């Protein structure tokens, strides 16, 4: 088994069968070995620096009806909200003062935020904070719309593929959503020039080891700059309310595999991981992650953006989240840095064109 991990570190890819062998055959000892290797690779590119992203959950309106998600359109129990442009800018303002140099606008697929409104918002944020990176996470759009966001100044885009296995995808989503369109979006985003993030939930209903191995191969092929993964956690008003959560243990193992598969990837240790275990985010860093995403949303709306149950940090002010995470990182020997935290290759390319 260790020889497979050595091979992955050397060659940065395995066959589907080999990924499956590692995932199914994992033991605590093997996981420790994986994390050691993943840590060494991460240290080569990022040292002990941890990048922070200020997450602004700016709307919980959504036209989609994903079976796992708490803000799916059919969930009548959700109090819907959307932030105004001024409110979003004020999140950025407090975030900037706290040392954030990346803002992530995340939301449901809210038809109110048309291309025109998004472009205006992107312009205003980039004009006011030209030294910051702006990341969007607002779902599936046409190529033209993605292009317009990019031209308006957005730098990065997060769109989890959710699962690379088409049959599995169909079991997580209603019929009007297709795995083909999800993947089309990701390829468009890459081609347009966004630093692009895909990702999946660990332990989502109907997921098999084969699905996870296919995720690894899809990710290797797409070559995203970022990969977001976290455990699936049931939300009590969704069709998956009774499904068991994904485990921290498997999520950490997948983080380790991702670090060895894409050595330079920007890999967040997610809030969902911190939700299934009090030290989940610290352990995620120690498994190979190098990014954390504290919440900058106004406290008044935090409890309305509940994709899953028991989400942590919903009562904390932005400054508390930022300081708490900095403390947690320091306690395990890492340091939150004031930086845009770009993908290294993208940075060197940009330098070459200067
Ligand atoms: N509408 C945007 C943002 C989605 S929310 C988009 O489509 O990209 C961000 C991510 O949260 C989703 O991609 C999904 O992987 C994750 N998520 C949703 N529900 C979840 C749940 N119940 N447990 C864990 N993660 C969940």
Q: DSSP readout, 96-159?
A: HHTT--EEEEEE---TTS-HHHHHHHHHHHHHH-TTSEEEEE-----HHHHHHHHHHT--EEE-
**CA distance readout (Å), 346 to 196, 260, 288, 301:** 11, 19, 20, 34
Cα-atom radius of gyration of the chain, to the nearest Å? 19
- Ligand 1 centroid–CA 308 distance in Å is 9
- CA–centroid distance, residue 111 to ligand 1 (Å): 18
Task: Give residue for tokens 């050397």.
Answer: 10
Secondary structure E strands in the chain: 49-52, 54-59, 102-107, 133-137, 156-158, 195-202, 226-231, 291-292, 335-337
Contact criterion met (CB below 8 Å) for 131 and 169 = no
Give the helix/strand (H/E) hosting 265: none
Q: What is the pLDDT of residues 130-178, one digit of tens each?
A: 999 999 999 999 999 999 999 999 999 999 999 999 999 999 999 999 9
- Does position 273 have pLDDT exceeding 80, yes or no? yes
Residue 273 Cβ contacting ligand 1 at under 6 Å: no
Cα dihedral 108, 160, 26, 208, rounded to 10, equals 80
Angle ∠(149,129,345) on CA atoms, nearest 5: 65
Q: In this predicted structure, what is the pLDDT of residue 354? A: 45
CA of 221 from ligand 1 middle (Å) equals 22
What is the average per-residue pLDDT within 183-204? 98
Give the pair of three-digit tokens for residue 102: 């990346």
Q: Is the CB of 197 under 6 A from ligand 1?
A: no
Each residue of 318-335: pLDDT tens digit? 999 999 999 999 999 999
Q: Looking up tokens 């149950």, which residue turns up?
A: 309
Comparing CA positions, the residue from 88, 220, 103, 98 lying closest to residue 161 is 220
Is the distance from the beta carbon of residue 69 to the nearest atom of ligand 1 less than 6 Å?
yes
Quickly state the pLDDT bin for 112 (edges 50, 70, 90). Answer: very high
pLDDT in tens, 72-109: 999 999 999 999 999 999 999 999 999 999 999 999 99
Atom of ligand 1 nearest to the CA of 200: 15
The fold of the 2-353 domain, in CATH, is TIM Barrel (3.20.20)
The Cα 160–Cα 231 span in angstroms is 13
Q: Model-level pTM greater than 0.85?
A: yes
CA distance 317 to 242: 31
Q: Best substitution site from 58, 61, 65, 68 to test ligand 1's pocket, by max atoms within 8 Å of Cβ?
A: 68
* pLDDT over 80 at 192, yes or no: yes
Tokens of 311: 């989400």
pLDDT class for 346, splitting at 50, 70, 90?
low
Cα–Cα distance measured from residue 343 to residue 266, given in angstroms and rounded to the nearest whole number: 7
- Does the C-beta of 160 come closer than 6 Å to ligand 1? yes
Domain spans, the chain: 2-353
Tokens of 191: 């081609």
Taking residue 137's Cβ as centre, other Cβ atoms within 10 Å add up to 18
Q: Residue 255: helix, strand or coil by DSSP?
A: helix
- Find the 261 Cα to ligand 1 centroid distance in Å: 23
CA-closest candidate to residue 201, choices 140, 250, 267: 250
Integer Cα distance of 135 and 105 in angstroms:
6
**Alpha carbons 312 and 28: distance in angstroms, whole number:** 27
- Give the Å distance between the CA of 352 and the centre of ligand 1: 36
| Substitution site in 53, 58, 69 for ligand 1 pocket (most atoms within 8 Å of beta carbon) | 69
d(CA 204, CA 67): 11
- Work out which ligand 1 atom sits closest to the CA atom of 108: 1
Tell me, what's the pLDDT at 345? Answer: 72
Ligand 1: nearest atom to the Cα of 138: 2
Instruction: Produce one character per residue of 252-264: b if its CB has 16 or more CB atoms within 10 Å, e if not.
Output: bbbbbbbbbbbbb
pLDDT band, residue 351 (cuts 50/70/90): very low
| Shortest-distance Cα residue to atom 12 of ligand 1 | 160
Q: Which of 160, 168, 226, 304 to mutate to test the pocket of ligand 1 (most atoms within 8 A of CB)?
A: 160
Q: Is the CB of 37 under 6 A from ligand 1?
A: no
């Amino acid at each position: 088994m260790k020889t497979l991990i050595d091979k992955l570190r050397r060659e940065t890819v395995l066959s589907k069968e080999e990924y499956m062998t590692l995932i199914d055959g994992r033991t605590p000892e093997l996981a420790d070995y994986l994390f050691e290797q993943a840590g060494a690779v991460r240290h080569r590119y990022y040292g002990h620096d941890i990048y922070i992203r200020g997450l602004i959950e700016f709307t919980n309106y959504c036209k989609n009806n994903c079976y796992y998600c708490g803000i799916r359109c059919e969930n009548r129990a959700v109090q819907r909200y959307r932030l105004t442009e001024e409110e979003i800018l004020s999140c950025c303002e407090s975030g900037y003062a706290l040392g954030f140099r990346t803002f992530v606008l995340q939301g449901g697929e809210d038809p109110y935020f048309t291309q025109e409104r998004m472009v205006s918002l992107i312009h205003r944020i980039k004009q006011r904070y030209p030294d910051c990176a702006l990341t969007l996470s607002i779902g599936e759009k046409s190529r033209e719309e993605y292009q317009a966001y990019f031209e308006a100044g957005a730098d990065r885009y997060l769109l989890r593929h959710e699962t690379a296995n088409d049959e599995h995808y169909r079991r997580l989503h209603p019929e009007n959503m297709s795995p083909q369109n999800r993947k089309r979006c990701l390829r468009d985003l890459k081609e347009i020039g966004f630093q692009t993030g895909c990702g999946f939930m660990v332990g989502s209903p109907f997921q098999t080891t084969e699905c996870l191995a296919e995720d690894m191969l899809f990710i290797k092929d797409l070559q995203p700059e970022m990969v977001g993964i976290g455990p699936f956690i049931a939300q009590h008003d969704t069709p998956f309310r009774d499904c068991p959560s994904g485990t921290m243990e498997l999520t950490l193992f997948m983080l380790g595999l991702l670090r060895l598969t894409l050595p330079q990837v920007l890999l967040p240790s997610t809030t969902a991981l911190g939700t299934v275990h009090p030290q989940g985010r610290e352990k995620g860093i120690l498994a190979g992650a190098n990014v954390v995403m504290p919440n900058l949303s106004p406290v008044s709306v935090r409890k309305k953006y509940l994709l899953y149950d028991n989400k942590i940090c919903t009562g904390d002010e932005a400054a508390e989240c930022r300081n708490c995470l900095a403390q947690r990182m320091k306690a395990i020997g890492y340091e939150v840095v004031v930086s845009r935290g770009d993908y290294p290759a993208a940075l060197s390319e940009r330098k070459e064109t200067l």
